[in-house]
Amino acid sequence: MPTCRSRNPMPFLFLLFFLCASRPAGGEEFGTPDILKANVAFWKKIYTEVSLTEGLLHDADHPLVIYERIHIGTMSGRQRNNYIRAEKAKVEAMLGRIAGQPESAWSREERAIAAMLAEQGGKEALEGAQERIRFQQGQKERFYEGLCRSGAYLDTIRSILARFNVPPKLAYLPHVESSFDAYANSKVGAAGLWQFMRGTGRLYLKIDYLVDERRDPIASTSAAAKLLIGNYRELQSWPLAITAYNHGLYGMKRAVATTGSRDIAVIIERHESRTFKFASKNFYGCFLAVCDIAEQPEKYFGEVRYTAPLKRHDIVLTHYVKPSVLSRHLGVDTRILAEMNPAIRPVVFLQDKLIPRDTDIHLPVTLSLAFADSALGAIPDSLKLQTPPRPEYYRVHRGDNLYAIAGRFGVSARDVALENGISRMNRIYAGQVLRIPPTTARAPEPIASFVEDMRPEMGLVMQQSAAEAKPAAKKEPAPVSPVAAAQEALPDTLEEIVMARAEPAPEALDALKGKYQGQFDAEGYNLDVELSPVGNSASIYAAVDETIGHYGDWLGIPTWRIRQLNRMGNRSTIHIGQRLTIPGDAGGIERFVQKRLEYHMAIEEDFYSQYKVSEIRERIVGRGETLWDICSDDGEVPLWLLKKYNKHADLSRLAVGMQLWLPAVAEKTPEDIEQEKQEMGGGYPYYQQPIFSPSGPVKRVP
């Protein structure tokens, strides 16, 4: 790469001054305040001593007050929750006896607990102790695996952090966030090594249905460095900047304003907020704990077999190309491409979708760049596109069948079934959104009018004035010759599948049985779009997990235009079911509909790649409860998932006594993953990064 010299030295001098002025105070220590020493010791115990099959019942404010170490094994869902509740109840009863009886009546165990509370929190620590009992699962095996994986990334992460003047110690932060797993997804939608949420990630990274750079270790590290140095410049304290990574910059600025201090110890002790709870208060303590472990891992784990440092070549695509085409011309197995390019979402490899132009492709170093350039140049024009065809989707209605749907779009019923993982055990149902594969009988081309075609499928309503009204052109099925009809003859089993009528949309109890888990159901969202008579705007209803920022992105316009059109202030928020007007012509609304649908599909796909609903239970809304309270009950439940299991309820209007179904979320087991691999189509594949060291596979800690 040629260097570039400035003709005028002043810009360089200004840049040098800016970097020096913004550089963190030299040698600033990541000290451990007295108030956090117990927290740090507690997290070191969790990361290095307590297994994933165990957990500690402890005091949330005084974590070294450990009441019991319990074994949870492989329990999940209601069984696990009930077991933990029962063990908590025993501790609550013991604390009740301590508080209600004279010391002379205490048992030996009760005396030991009272002594622990007094030592860690003083005599007043007994007050309210029954409400502070908390369960924390161990992380020993997961942390060790993260140590092994970190060998692939640490050198690169440190070099990127140095470019942004971020202290090298923050290279250990992914231990807290993801255990250095580039494929990690949280229940609420955070992804990648640095666990960016979509809203924050899109400020720095490309995130859409095909590419999600949150999963790229290099791109996401640059984004994390920008976020961290931005936090530091605003807060002038690394402990606060790190805490803001979890709690949010504006949350920490409020904490500084309310306490009048930039001391993390003062803020943890004095700041009160509905959202500044255990996780945020402990985030900096977790960071200090992982730093100590990572800097002397042999003290805790003995020899650690680190993964070899990541080495790769990078190329940039100049056209839209399918993974199968890249694999064939580069001579690289598609699975290797998928493993080396986690930013390309699994759905692209699963369905052999076109990888977007300008995407960075990571290749093995054994492949020379000269060969890669030559191989890409040799791809025939017929297999690469400058402009991709617009995706086509179809929302299934009751009574539909695959054969009729395929005929409408002029594609093979077999291809539609394979594209969507349809099988005898997994038939179509009303409300399901099908992906329509491109036909080989005609050249790929954008559909004439996405809005018009999606009107009956996605609930779009076209309104026209009387003067402009005209009959809508009906999309006729592609003609089928007798020869083609004979070629379309299907085996009995597949014929049964494609001719079967769509079943009613599944209810919660059906989904509980696992039959419909992981299938995207448009009935859970209100995606109707009503075009204005003059065609320069449309009306929508805000769906779950949507913001004005999303609408601006999907329309390609600044958010102030949407706020102005709806007479909203700069700080106004929207609620589920709220009617809004969005600007845009027919083409802009077409793109909006597609991007909106794919946004919700991506969230569900990411979730089901790692989690499952193990069961559901009845939940009656209590007085003063919010959706946030309900979704936080017994762990984190995404709001969209709650909505999916409660299509009968208006979640925007909670009422005391309302009956809801609350799903219990659990990580998929190896058995679940293996079963998915055997299923036809495999809707949401689980990708787990393999752990390798220079000398071979790493053995997992027993």
Question: Within its chain, how far is the Cα of 168 from the centroid?
Answer: 26
pLDDT over 70 (residue 26) = no
What are the chain's domains? 53-137 (no CATH), 140-301 (1.10.530.10), 313-385 (no CATH), 389-609 (no CATH), 610-667 (3.10.350.10)
Amino acid 702: pLDDT? 26
The DSSP secondary structure of 181-241, one letter per residue, reads -TT-B-TTS-BTTTTB-HHHHTTTS-BSSSBBGGG-HHHHHHHHHHHHHHHHHHHS-HHHH
pLDDT over 60 (residue 13) = no
| pLDDT, tens digit, 9 for 90 and up, residues 166-215 | 999 999 999 999 999 999 999 989 999 999 999 899 999 999 999 999 99
488: nearest Cα among 382, 580, 406, 384: 406
Amino acid 285: pLDDT? 96
pLDDT over 80 (residue 349) = yes
pLDDT over 90 (residue 139) = yes
Amino acid 694: pLDDT? 32
pLDDT over 60 (residue 445) = no
Amino acid 502: pLDDT? 79
pLDDT over 80 (residue 308) = yes
pLDDT over 70 (residue 569) = yes
Per the DSSP assignment, residues forming a β-bridge with 619 are: 660
- pLDDT class of 98 with cuts at 50, 70, 90: very high
| Residues 207 and 223 sit within 8 Å (Cβ to Cβ) | no
| pLDDT, tens digit, 9 for 90 and up, residues 491-521 | 445 567 767 777 766 666 566 566 667 778 7
Distance CA 612, CA 604 (A): 11
The DSSP secondary structure of 30-76, one letter per residue, reads ----HHHHHHHHHHHHHHHTS-TTEEEEEESSSTT-EEEEEE-TT--
More confident residue, 520 or 96: 96
More confident residue, 487 or 522: 522
Distance CA 455, CA 119 (A): 68
Which residues are within 8 A (CB) of 159 and not within 5 positions of it... i.e. 6 or more apart?
none
pLDDT over 90 (residue 246) = yes
